[in-house]
Amino acid sequence: MSRDHLYNSKLSIIKLYKEQLKTFNKLGIGNYTEFNTKISQELIDVTEKRLSQLSSAYTTNKREYNKKEKRRVKNEKVSAR
């Protein structure tokens, strides 16, 4: 699996959590989702927490990936000379 594909997968998961939060807020506490899950403040809180964790990990990993990519490209340019 390529790194780009991996990052796109992570972004898809982050998007899924964002969409879930929108749904929870739209339906409101005490109501049920299309999967018959009762929306509670606890559900919203843990979803927000997980979204924060995923977003933070994605940002950190992407930053490290970009640094490594820049070094790799620089080394390729030096090797090509």
Q: For residue range 9-27, what is the model confidence (pLDDT) as tens digits?
A: 888 999 999 999 999 999 9
35: helix, strand or coil: coil
Task: Give the contacts of 78 (CB within 8 A, at least 6 positions apart).
Answer: none
* pLDDT 10s digits, 62-80: 677 677 777 776 777 667 6
- With beta carbons less than 8 A apart as the criterion, state whether 1 and 48 touch: no
One-letter identity of residue 79: S
- With beta carbons less than 8 A apart as the criterion, state whether 11 and 57 touch: no
Q: Can you give the residue ranges of every domain in the chain? A: 3-80
Q: What is the pTM of this model?
A: 0.66
HSE at residue 29, side-chain half, CA atoms within 13 A, is 6
- With beta carbons less than 8 A apart as the criterion, state whether 24 and 39 touch: yes
32: helix, strand or coil: strand
pLDDT value, residue 3 = 60
